[in-house]
Amino acid sequence: MKFVSIIIGSKSDYSVMVECANTLDKFGVLHELIISSAHRSPERTHSYVKGAEERGSRVFICAAGMAAHLAGAVAALTIKPVIGVPMKGGAMDGMDAMLSTVQMPSGMPVATVAMGKAGAINSAYLAMQILSLEDNDLQVKLQEDRILKSKKVESDSADIEIKL
């Protein structure tokens, strides 16, 4: 069984990261979501990553805020792709999390997406694009989704556009 693992650092990240789970659901992509923290529960994080890999996890999506080390800590444990989602909040409103997540040392990548809802959704899309390299059905669904998005731009414009 192939699936995507979503790890969030705190319950307070859930309201944003549910968008990631919903996006994977929309495309019928199997996933798990757990709360585990690099700092508050390092052993739980370690054992989840090792266990999930053995059970078929193909991509890890990690969301954390403030001194956001979760994605980096997970990247240290696996060579599966790790996607980091910086959470807004704290004194720097996510800037700290973004830099903590993106600035990984060479050889230890974390694919860092935008903060907030767009990042949560894009983490799901990026995970699916990785999975679609070996899944033609998913590739077709993603291509169809692109066409729908493009058509929506046209229909939205048609609703309001002014042309001479």
Contact residues for ligand RP5 (CB under 6 A)?
9-10, 12-13, 37, 64-66, 87, 89
Q: How far is the CB of 145 from ligand RP5 (least distance, A)?
A: 29
Q: How far is the CB of 146 from ligand RP5 (least distance, A)?
A: 31
Q: Which of 35, 31, 34, 13 is nearest to 22 (CA)?
A: 31
Q: How far is the CB of 43 from ligand RP5 (least distance, A)?
A: 16
101 or 132: CB nearest ligand RP5:
101
DSSP class of residue 132 equals G
R_g of the chain computed on alpha carbons: 17
CB 76 within 8 A of CB 21: no
30 or 102: CB nearest ligand RP5:
102
68 or 131: CB nearest ligand RP5:
68
CA separation, residue 76 to residues 38, 96, 98, 109, 159 (Å):
11, 20, 18, 9, 49
Please report where in the chains the tokens 């959470």 appear, as a residue.
87
87 or 110: CB nearest ligand RP5:
87
Q: How far is the CB of 135 from ligand RP5 (least distance, A)?
A: 30
